[in-house]
Amino acid sequence: MKDPDAHANPPVDGGELIRFDKVTKRFGDNTVLDRLDFSVESGRHVTLIGPSGSGKTTILRLLMTLTRPDEGTIKVNGDYLTHEERGGKLVPAREKHVREVRKNIGMVFQHFNLFPNMSVLRNITEAPVTVLGMSKDEAEARARELLELVGLSDKADAYPTRLSGGQQQRVAIARALAMRPQVLLLDEVTSALDPELVAGVLDVLRDIARSTDITMLCVTHEMGFARDISDQVLMFDSGRVIESGSPDKMFGEPEHARTREFLSAVL
Ligand code: ADP
């Protein structure tokens, strides 16, 4: 059988997996991201922190093409996400191109977003079968491996409404991984959970961070978790990265007054 952690498209070795180049995003008069430059290297676990409204979720939504940049470009594994080079010029990309590049990216949302009318197993196999063209048998075998990884082997035939929020979120993680993305985007994945269910989800994510080579880009208010799993922490304020560094530096000796102020409010 195939290596369960193999990706659809192998990453460019050790290189940049994500690059934002002068990305501006406005909602009406509100400039949420202002010529933002940042990059994430393949295999790294990067956490975005910063006050509410500073543009963190917008970055993840841009990567999922749930919203588009007003200016600037985004590259994923060396390919432009929403642009294509045609006749030596950079032009808005056709949907087919966008879909192809986006296959590299998986996302887990705050509110799970499972298909309520499908069993857990089918939630996980649906996209690999319909989007990647995987055989049903292969998709099911892979789904069962992933259910084991997230500690839900016994829930394959259950329906989402019968599961706790924490279990639903673990299914959502398995579903995202089933597409073999190179990068997993995690948007406040524990903030809709009852407090007693948070640790189980974070443990699964810690395990995935340790045991796979997947790149992770997380937005979280769980600073203990951010400290544990991150290689790099980026502090956002008003749509810009104002400070970045290792978790030890960012949580132990932040340089920027804004970072210190933010951390003292949330820690
Ligand atoms: P964060 O994740 O850091 O809390 P967001 O990226 O969610 O920040 O939001 C940044 C800003 O963009 C906020 O001011 C928010 O109100 C605004 N915003 C986000 N999405 C939309 C939208 N679809 N329409 C209008 N404004 C939006």
CA distance linking residue 41 with residue 37, whole number of Å: 14
Q: Which among 83, 101, 103, 106 is positioned nearest to 93, based on CA atoms? A: 83
Q: Which secondary-structure segment (H or E) carries 60?
A: helix 56-63
Dihedral, 215, 219, 221, 223 alpha carbons, nearest 10: 30
The predicted-structure confidence for 185-201, as pLDDT tens digits, reads as follows 999 999 989 989 999 99
Q: Give pLDDT, residue 7.
A: 52
Q: Give pLDDT, residue 13.
A: 53
The predicted-structure confidence for 209-250, as pLDDT tens digits, reads as follows 998 889 999 999 899 899 989 999 999 998 889 999 999 999
Helix, strand, or coil (residue 75): strand
Query: Ligand 1 — pocket residues by CB below 6 A?
Result: 27, 30, 32, 50, 52-58, 219
ipTM of the complex: 0.97
**Residue having the nearest C-alpha atom to atom 22 of ligand 1:** 27
Ligand 1 center to residue 129 CA distance, Å?
Answer: 33
Q: Which among 225, 212, 218 is positioned nearest to 177, based on CA atoms? A: 212
What's the whole-model pTM score?
0.91
Atom of ligand 1 minimally distant from the CA of 48: 3
pLDDT at 2 over 80: no
Ligand 1 center to residue 26 CA distance, Å?
Answer: 9
Q: Which amino acid is at 244?
A: S
Q: Which among 250, 239, 244, 199 is positioned nearest to 25, based on CA atoms? A: 239
pLDDT at 134 over 70: yes
Q: Report whether 125 contacts 114 (CB < 8 A).
A: no
Beta strand ranges found along 69-140 (DSSP E):
71-76, 79-80, 83-86, 89-92, 105-108
Beta strand ranges found along 42-182 (DSSP E):
45-49, 71-76, 79-80, 83-86, 89-92, 105-108
